[in-house]
Amino acid sequence: MSDPIHPDHYRDRDGSQIDCSRAQKAGLGLGGYRSYLAGCAAKYLWRHDQKNGVEDLRKCIQVLHMLKDTYLEGIPQNNLNPTPGGKQNNKVEYGDYDPT
């Protein structure tokens, strides 16, 4: 059985190296993809205590990291966007967190 947080059925099937999330982003556009991810995170958080417990919380965290990554793409980790007060924020709070 594949990992429930990183299931095989969402991965590249034909050698193209295009997985489900890349296809969704291409089809929905960046704004639509971000909205989709936010909705998925809300769904997992909402249902966790009634359905899959910790597994749904792990899925929620994974989706939130995917959402965060859409904001960090193309930005070097040592040059993140300035904070609202104008100060440079060079801290990556979640780094390479892997919820597995």
Residue 12 has pLDDT above 60, yes or no: yes
pLDDT on residue 21? 84
Residue 22 has pLDDT above 90, yes or no: no
- Tally of domains within the chain: 1
The reply to whether 59 falls in a domain is yes
Residue 98 CA to residue 62 CA, distance in Å, equals 8
The reply to whether 31 falls in a domain is no
pLDDT on residue 64? 96
Of residues 8 and 99, more confidence is placed in 8
pLDDT on residue 86? 47
Which residue segment(s) compose the domain that 73 sits in?
40-100
Of residues 34 and 11, more confidence is placed in 34
Q: What is the pLDDT of residues 29-85, one digit of tens each?
A: 999 999 999 999 999 999 999 999 999 999 999 999 999 999 998 776 555 554 555
The reply to whether 1 falls in a domain is no
Q: What is the DSSP string of 4-38?
A: SSS-GGGS-SSSS---HHHHHHHHHHHHHHHHHHH
